[in-house]
């Protein structure tokens, strides 16, 4: 008959309120950081009044001693936090195994989880827990002493860092100033270098020009460049001679122009003298003509008869006689027409007059011309067209045609003389 195998049930871990109170301070201080204490204090289930970290630490120690909702909530939080790490401790049944796990976790720096697992273990001996607590207690003193030294050292380092940062800031300012000065000096040096390069280029150019001139002087002195210089001089002389020749030509042309100008000026002076003489002669002729016309007018108006012959208006009369010829006068002055008529009739002729087309119609001229024996026309007192027309008709009808110099009575008397002859 088989006997049933009995499964050994693992003991349940202790609750936080079941842990001895003398270990609660180290438990809360080791397993809950200051940040965790502040966070848990704000949760509704704990509702711990805000204060400094030590007050929070003391308050959660009191909560860990109770099995109420707050105690259970605190146990639940820590059990969940160290669930994985504490599992291997709960499987150990002897102090030796538990101590081995402790030493391994301490080597790995897992002090908080190892201490939590040690305190909730249901079978661990009180002697081992007391011994480990003593170790933690002394470790706390060492840590406190070391922390104080480290804090002082940290403060000294912080002060030194602050001083170094201040020195560094000052050095940075000095560096920036020095950098600006160096940049300014660098720019100045670059500008000076550029000026120096430009001066070197100019110096090189001047040296090259000086060298070339020196070569030219040496060439000239040695006679090698004499031919080219002489050639240039000859060319300049030829150009100069050409210019002199051109100047001479221009001087000759200018003399010719001056002589021609003097000749023209002399001719103009002679022309002006002739014009003045002609004007004087014309004035004298005008006076003479006026005198003759006045004399003729007086002769016409007088009723005197020819004293030298008794047969007036006959061929025996020594004066001019038209012998009954009809004279056509074309043009003339209207105020002299009665005198024209009287002079023609005094000479034994018959007088006809036409104004040349000014008032009388020019169509009357042919009929009047057929009845006339002679035609007289003054050139100064008739239109050019009328004069030409009369001239053509006289030629057609073979009538004597006399062009008179003027419309005066003296010209008429001269014209009548031509007709009588």
What is the reported pTM? Answer: 0.39
Domain shared by 217 and 241, yes or no: no
Among 302, 317, 337, residue at a domain's last position: 302
Domain shared by 236 and 217, yes or no: no
Nearest CA to 328 out of 396, 394, 409, 405 is that of 394
The answer as to whether 141 is a domain residue is: no
What is the 3-state composition of the chain as percent helix, strand, coil, each rounded to the nearest 5? 70, 5, 25
The answer as to whether 308 is a domain residue is: no
Domain shared by 21 and 120, yes or no: yes
Domain shared by 21 and 113, yes or no: yes
Nearest CA to 119 out of 8, 15, 198, 241 is that of 15
Domain shared by 336 and 407, yes or no: yes
The answer as to whether 274 is a domain residue is: yes
- Residue-wise DSSP of 181-213: HHHHHHHHHHHHHHHHHHHHHHHHHHHHHHHHH
Domain shared by 257 and 283, yes or no: yes
The answer as to whether 271 is a domain residue is: yes
Strand duo 350-354 + 326-330: pairing = parallel
Q: Order of strands across the sheet with 374-378?
A: 350-354, 326-330, 374-378, 401-404
Domain shared by 241 and 207, yes or no: no
119 is in which domain, residue-wise? 16-124
Ordered per-residue pLDDT tens for the chain, 421 residues = 444 444 556 678 999 999 999 999 999 999 999 999 999 988 888 888 877 899 999 999 999 999 999 999 999 999 999 999 889 999 998 999 999 999 999 999 899 999 999 999 999 999 999 999 998 888 888 877 776 777 777 677 777 767 777 777 777 888 788 888 878 888 887 887 788 788 778 778 877 877 887 777 676 666 555 566 677 778 888 887 888 888 888 888 888 888 888 888 888 899 899 889 888 777 767 765 665 666 566 555 544 444 444 544 454 554 557 888 999 999 889 899 999 999 999 888 999 998 887 776 778 888 888 899 999 999 888 888 888 888 998 999 899 999 998 888 888 888 888 887 6
Among 179, 205, 224, residue at a domain's last position: 224
Q: What CATH number is attached to the domain comprising 345?
A: 3.40.50.2300
Structure-token pair, residue 419: 């007709």
User: Alpha-carbon distance 60 to 253, whole Å?
Assistant: 139
User: Alpha-carbon distance 386 to 234, whole Å?
Assistant: 80
User: Alpha-carbon distance 306 to 321, whole Å?
Assistant: 13
pLDDT of residue 277: 86
The answer as to whether 136 is a domain residue is: no
Domain shared by 28 and 118, yes or no: yes
Domain shared by 22 and 118, yes or no: yes
Domain shared by 288 and 246, yes or no: yes
User: Alpha-carbon distance 262 to 256, whole Å?
Assistant: 10
Containing H/E element for 111?
A: helix 111-120
The answer as to whether 1 is a domain residue is: no
Containing H/E element for 78?
A: helix 69-81
Domain shared by 219 and 263, yes or no: no
Domain shared by 235 and 203, yes or no: no
User: Alpha-carbon distance 175 to 385, whole Å?
Assistant: 119
Structure-token pair, residue 154: 């940290």
Among 202, 224, 246, residue at a domain's last position: 224
CB 405 within 8 A of CB 380: yes
Count of the separate structural domains present in the chain: 4
The answer as to whether 175 is a domain residue is: yes
């Amino acid at each position: 008959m088989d006997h049933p195998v009995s499964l050994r049930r693992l003991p349940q871990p202790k609750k936080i309120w079941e842990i001895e109170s003398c270990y609660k301070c180290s438990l809360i201080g080791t397993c809950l950081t200051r940040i965790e204490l502040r966070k848990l204090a704000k949760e509704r289930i704990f509702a711990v009044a805000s204060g400094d970290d030590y007050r929070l630490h003391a308050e959660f120690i009191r909560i860990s001693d109770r099995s109420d909702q707050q105690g259970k909530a605190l146990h639940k939080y820590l059990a969940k936090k160290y669930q994985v790490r504490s599992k291997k401790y709960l499987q150990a049944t002897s102090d030796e195994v538990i101590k081995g796990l402790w030493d391994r976790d301490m080597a790995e720096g897992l002090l908080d989880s190892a201490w939590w697992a040690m305190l909730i273990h249901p079978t661990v001996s009180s002697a081992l827990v007391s011994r480990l607590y003593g170790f933690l207690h002394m470790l706390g003193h060492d840590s406190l002493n070391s922390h104080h030294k480290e804090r002082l050292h940290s403060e000294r380092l912080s002060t030194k860092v602050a001083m170094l940062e201040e020195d560094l800031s000052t050095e940075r300012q000095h560096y920036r100033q020095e950098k600006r000065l160096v940049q300014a000096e660098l720019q100045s040096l670059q500008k000076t270098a550029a000026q120096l390069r430009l001066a070197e280029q100019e110096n090189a150019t001047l040296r090259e020009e000086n060298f070339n001139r020196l070569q030219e002087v040496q060439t000239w002195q040695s006679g090698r460049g004499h031919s080219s210089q002489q050639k240039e001089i000859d060319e300049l002389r030829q150009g100069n001679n050409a210019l002199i020749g051109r100047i001479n030509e221009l001087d000759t042309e200018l003399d010719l122009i001056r002589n021609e100008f003097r000749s023209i000026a002399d001719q103009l002076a002679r022309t002006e003298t002739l014009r003045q003489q002609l004007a004087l002669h014309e004035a004298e002729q005008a006076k003479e003509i006026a005198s003759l016309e006045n004399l003729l007018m007086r002769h016409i108006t007088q009723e005197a008869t020819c004293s030298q012959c008794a047969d007036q208006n006959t061929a025996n009369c020594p004066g001019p006689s038209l012998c009954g010829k009809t004279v056509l006068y074309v043009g003339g002055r209207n105020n002299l027409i009665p005198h024209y008529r009287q002079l023609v009739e005094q000479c034994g002729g018959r007088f006809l007059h036409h104004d040349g087309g000014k008032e009388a119609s020019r169509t009357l001229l042919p009929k009047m011309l057929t009845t006339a024996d002679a035609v007289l026309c003054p050139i100064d007192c008739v239109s050019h067209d009328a004069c030409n027309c009369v001239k053509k008709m006289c030629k057609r009808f073979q009538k004597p045609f006399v062009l008179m110099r003027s419309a005066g009575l003296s010209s008429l008397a001269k014209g009548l003389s031509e007709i009588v002859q």
